[in-house]
Amino acid sequence: MRGEEEVRLRPPRHRVDRRAVAWWRLRCLLAAAVPAAVTGAVGVFVGPARPGLWYAAAAIAAAGLLVAAFLPLWWYRVHRWEVTEDAVYVRTGALWQEWRIAPMSRIQTVDTVRGPLEQGFRLATVTVTTASAKGDIRIEGLDHARAAELAEQLTRITGATPGDAT
């Protein structure tokens, strides 16, 4: 920390990119489509002896559609991030919200990741590895150019911050 200011828990200022809603929605749909398709395929092979499999496949698909319709919008409302000269602030979650602060002196590495689906939406994830048992801090759903700028900013700030990151 610099000077006499203390790092405190507070709402981060920035939202993730709006395209993250579509990316999360597609992930939810794919997560539901695979078990629905497998259950439906088993229903085809087992035949009329097990009509419950068709109902199960339909229920899985319906649940997936409901989750994909509402959960990504809620995530978009909740997910926030911010970087200051002293810390990285992140708030994530849906029902169980998690607020995390990583002081700059505790940051060990900064990574930018773009998976295949993220690339399709021109999004990226910045992962901040800290000297913490709690694990990495992930800022998902950033525009890929903004993610690169953020990684550079974090690298610059952590390089100028005294501390041993342990």
Residue pLDDT tens, the chain, 166 long: 444 456 566 679 999 999 999 999 999 999 999 999 998 888 888 776 677 888 898 999 999 999 999 999 999 999 999 999 888 999 998 888 898 888 888 899 999 999 999 999 999 999 999 887 788 999 999 999 999 999 999 999 988 777 665 5
The beta strands (E) that lie in 40-149 are given as 80-83, 87-92, 98-103, 107-113, 123-130, 137-143
Q: What is the pLDDT of residue 28?
A: 95
Q: What is the pLDDT of residue 163?
A: 67
Q: What is the pLDDT of residue 29?
A: 96
Q: What is the pLDDT of residue 15?
A: 95
**d(Cα 143, Cα 124) in Å, to the nearest integer?**
6
pTM across the whole model: 0.82
Sign of CA dihedral 166, 83, 149, 136: positive
First to last CA, the chain: 15
Q: What is the pLDDT of residue 72?
A: 96
Chain position carrying tokens 């995530």: 75
**Residues 6 or more apart whose Cβ sits within 8 Å of residue 154:** 83, 88, 107, 110, 126, 128
Closest CA to 17 of 124, 136, 103: 124
